[in-house]
């Protein structure tokens, strides 16, 4: 869609969404409208509409809320730039000096002679409707300037009066929490040195009661894998904003004359039809990137919950034999292969194949796995080091620490390697590069198993430099080995953000493979990340993390809506379990084009004990839906199962997918369609009226496939 730049109005728009920016000056540009798509004439009116009235004891005239809010304009909320020049030049007052507009982006340049700073703000609007914004500040003065914060702010309207964000912990990531959008600031900080288990993957404001398919919603995400902040703020003057950026520790950014600091991207999405529209914007943008995986996502078997540290070559060969027979396409050797690594207390940092366990190197296993037609993958944790390791004993100075001679508190009996240290960086690059050259490795499971505590370099805070160094290391490895895929794993899902996804091909959503917990973890991770990028594995019958036991059908039905895999000693599976897995894997491969290329939809089902979700192909000719019974319901008869996102003018054949198991039911009589074979139903009926599901036992799931068979004649059942 074209942009309009007339008399200071910048209008970026895509189907369903407009960004209208008042760039008439003299101050910084202000987003006057972020929401439903407007015509150019309406956008011009919105941009130049008269200032709002001012009230007693408020600035006169009304204060604009620019993309960088400034106290110097009378803004009484959170300023976008916080910094100083030796205690002075602490309040900015930028003047807009240049505007550059293209079809889908705008760049604004501003100067502030008082503080000696230049500010460049870049705004883009992608075809999916996802916007992203960032600032760059440059020190144009003659003395150092300390940047304490540089955050982007975007407005939301007064009728957005409810907030949704996320928290969590290890093995229970991305738990939703809702609250009223009241006066004041709701600030979510992550000071863990990585994205964080408890970090909110996004912050959503919406009309009261918004759901997956209903309500207007506005969402932001900070794309940064280190310390970061996301906030929502509402002032009594009825100014409401969402914003965020990097959370800088003391002294992390001190700009010498001529130096610049660039903030992380703040991604922002609007939807007039609930959270599914937010997901579509984020998924569409991620899928449009040049580096997005374009090959079918291979079925994975990871060895961790199968063998743990017991790296016996014969046992692993036997596991690979069974995996290949089941249809697995990628076999990943997890922790325990390198020098001294018999448990988690030692060896991290010594990235050499352990000759005591692997006297012939990894070649016997790699050759066996690839000879079976599978790819070989390997687990690494490059950013960490055990004090009980040759590396630590040789180079204790390579550890992040607040001061010389002082170590941070240990975590998991390990410390954090200072990747920004040139020698440590060179060592890691050499070791990983050597492994990737020596063996036919197609995949690295890149782990990161502890928070950064008291992380310093030469006495200065160093989380920012550590994060940037890790990005450089990932980028260089990908440059040297473009065929190797890397997964972002961080003791499960503690490093999931759009910037780490610029360097990786998949994220591990959680160390918890319990299917009931995974339903929620994957549901909310999937609001921002499409299913093909989210690792989802079938664990053993009894969960490693929760000790809960689930039927195989429920475990499979949960994992199939992601990048599917196994994390289970399948050599211990019964013949019936192996047959069921073989069938399920074949079914997953058949459905991959839809699952990993379609539109994710989630129904607003009236019963909180049951969830509805699915994926609809772009042409809406095929879809896969799940009805998930999480717990027992207070209702004896379930509410109809409505399937959103279909073409209302087509008839669909609805087929139960037995390849993913037959869920246990508790009703006396199942609905007629469920036991009678495929039925043909109009898309309008399926979306607005629905089908009655059978009465499922708790922790069971039913999957169906929908195939369009023709136009609807009367919209009903054939």
Number of H helices, E strands in the chain: 13, 39
Instruction: Give Cβ neighbours of residue 86 (< 8 Å, ≥ 6 apart).
Output: 143, 144
Sign of the CA dihedral with 286 first, then 289, 291, and 296 last: positive
Q: What is the DSSP string of 541-590?
A: SB-TTT--B--HHHHHHHHTTSEEEE-S-GGGS-HHHHHHHHHHHHHHHH
Report which of 43, 158, 159, 146 is spatially closest to residue 90, judged by C-alpha positions.
146
**CA separation for the pair 147, 252 (Å, rounded):** 8
Instruction: Give Cβ neighbours of residue 558 (< 8 Å, ≥ 6 apart).
Output: 515, 518, 519, 522, 536, 628, 701
Contact 352, 338 (CB under 8 A): yes
**CA separation for the pair 612, 211 (Å, rounded):** 13
Report which of 157, 134, 147, 131 is spatially closest to residue 46, judged by C-alpha positions.
157
Query: Residue 689 — left, alpha, or beta (φ > 0 → left; ψ -120 to 50 → alpha)?
Result: alpha
Instruction: Give Cβ neighbours of residue 707 (< 8 Å, ≥ 6 apart).
Output: 621, 622, 652, 653, 655
Tell me if residue 137 falls in helix, strand or coil: strand
Tell me if residue 641 falls in helix, strand or coil: strand
Instruction: Give Cβ neighbours of residue 693 (< 8 Å, ≥ 6 apart).
Output: 610, 627, 638, 640, 641, 671, 674, 702
- 447 is known as an active-site residue: yes
Length of the chain: 718
Identified catalytic residue from 161, 334, 511, 647: 511
Tell me if residue 154 falls in helix, strand or coil: strand
Contact 215, 164 (CB under 8 A): no
Identified catalytic residue from 276, 354, 447, 569: 447
Sign of the CA dihedral with 56 first, then 62, 63, and 67 last: positive
**CA separation for the pair 647, 707 (Å, rounded):** 11
- 104 is known as an active-site residue: no
Q: Residue by residue, what is the 3-state secondary structure of 347-360? A: CCCCCCECCCCCCC
Q: Give the distance from CA 322 to its chain's centroid.
A: 32
Q: How far is CA 183 from CA 72, 515, 551, in A?
A: 22, 39, 47
Query: How big is the CA angle at 611 (ends 610 and 616), to the nearest 5 degrees?
Result: 150
**CA separation for the pair 361, 435 (Å, rounded):** 11
**CA separation for the pair 413, 93 (Å, rounded):** 49
Report which of 632, 633, 635, 653 is spatially closest to residue 643, judged by C-alpha positions.
653
**CA separation for the pair 534, 611 (Å, rounded):** 19
Q: How far is CA 465 from CA 303, 622, 691, in A?
A: 33, 47, 55
Q: Which residues are catalytic?
A: 447, 511
């Amino acid at each position: 869609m074209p942009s309009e730049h007339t008399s200071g109005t910048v209008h970026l728009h895509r189907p369903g969404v407009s960004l209208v920016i008042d760039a008439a000056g003299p101050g910084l540009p202000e987003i006057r409208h972020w929401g439903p798509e407007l015509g150019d004439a309406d956008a011009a009116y919105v941009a130049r509409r008269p200032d709002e009235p001012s009230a007693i004891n408020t600035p006169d005239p009304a204060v604009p809320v620019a993309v960088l809010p400034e106290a110097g304009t009378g803004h009484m909320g959170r300023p976008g730039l916080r910094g100083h020049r030796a205690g002075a030049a602490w309040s900015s007052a930028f003047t807009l000096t240049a505007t550059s507009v293209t079809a889908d982006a705008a760049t604004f340049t501003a100067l502030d002679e008082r503080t000696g700073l230049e500010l460049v703000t870049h705004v883009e609007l992608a075809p999916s409707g996802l916007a992203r914004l960032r600032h760059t500040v440059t020190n144009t003065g003659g003395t150092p300037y300390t940047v304490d914060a540089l955050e982007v702010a975007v407005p939301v309207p007064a009728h957005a009066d409810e907030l949704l964000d996320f928290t969590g912990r290890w093995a229970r990531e991305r738990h939703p929490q809702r609250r009223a959008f009241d006066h004041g600031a709701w600030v979510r900080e992550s000071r863990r040195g990585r994205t964080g288990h408890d970090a909110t993957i996004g912050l959503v404001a919406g009309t009261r009661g918004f759901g997956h398919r209903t309500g207007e919603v506005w969402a932001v995400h900070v794309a940064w894998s280190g310390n970061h902040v996301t906030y929502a703020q509402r002032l009594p003057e009825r100014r409401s904003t969402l914003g965020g950026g990097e959370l800088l520790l003391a002294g992390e950014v001190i700009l010498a004359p001529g130096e610049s600091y660039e903030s992380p991207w703040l991604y922002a999405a609007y939807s007039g039809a609930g959270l599914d529209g937010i997901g579509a914007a984020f998924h569409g943008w991620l899928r449009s990137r040049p580096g997005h995986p374009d090959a079918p996502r291979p079925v994975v078997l990871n060895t961790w919950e199968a063998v743990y540290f017991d790296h016996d070559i014969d046992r692993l060969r036997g596991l690979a034999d069974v995996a290949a027979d089941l249809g697995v396409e990628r076999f990943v050797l997890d922790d325990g292969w390198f020098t001294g690594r018999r448990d988690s207390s030692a060896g991290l940092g010594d990235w050499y194949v352990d000759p005591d366990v692997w006297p012939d190197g990894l070649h016997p296993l790699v050759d066996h796995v690839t000879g079976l037609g599978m790819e070989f993958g390997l687990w690494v944790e490059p950013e960490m080091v055990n004090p009980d390791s040759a590396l630590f004993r040789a180079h204790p100075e390579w550890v992040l620490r607040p001061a010389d001679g002082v170590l941070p508190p240990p975590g998991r009996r390990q410390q954090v390697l200072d990747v920004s240290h040139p020698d440590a960086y060179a060592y890691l690059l050499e070791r990983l590069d050597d492994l990737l050259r020596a063996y036919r490795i197609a995949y690295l499971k890149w782990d990161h198993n502890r928070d950064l505590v008291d992380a310093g370099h030469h006495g200065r805070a160093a989380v920012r430099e550590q994060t940037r160094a890790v990005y450089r290391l990932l980028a260089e490895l990908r440059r040297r080995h473009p065929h190797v895929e890397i997964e972002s794993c961080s003791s499960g899902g503690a490093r999931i953000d759009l910037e780490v996804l610029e360097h990786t091909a998949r994220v591990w959503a959680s160390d918890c493979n319990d299917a009931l917990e995974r339903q929620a973890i994957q549901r909310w991770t999937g609001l921002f990340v499409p299913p093909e990028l989210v690792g989802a594995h079938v664990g053993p019958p009894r969960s490693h993390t929760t000790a809960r036991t689930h039927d195989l059908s429920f475990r499979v039905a949960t994992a199939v809506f992601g990048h599917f895999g196994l994390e289970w000693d399948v050599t211990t599976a019964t013949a019936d379990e192996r047959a069921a897995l073989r069938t399920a894997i074949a079914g997953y491969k058949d459905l991959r084009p839809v699952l990993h290329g379609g539109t994710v939809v989630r129904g607003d089902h009236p019963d909180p004990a049951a969830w509805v979700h699915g994926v609809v192909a772009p042409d809406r000719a095929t879809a896969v839906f799940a009805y998930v019974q999480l717990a027992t319901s207070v209702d004896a008869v379930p509410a109809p199962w409505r399937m959103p996102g279909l073409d209302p003018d087509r008839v669909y054949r609805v087929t139960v997918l037995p390849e993913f198991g037959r869920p246990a039911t508790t009703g006396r009589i199942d609905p007629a369609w469920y036991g009678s074979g495929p039925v043909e139903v109009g898309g309008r009926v399926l979306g607005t009226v629905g089908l009655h599901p059978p009465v499922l036992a708790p922790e069971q799931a039913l999957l169906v496939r929908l195939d369009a068979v023709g136009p609807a004649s009367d919209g009903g059942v054939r």
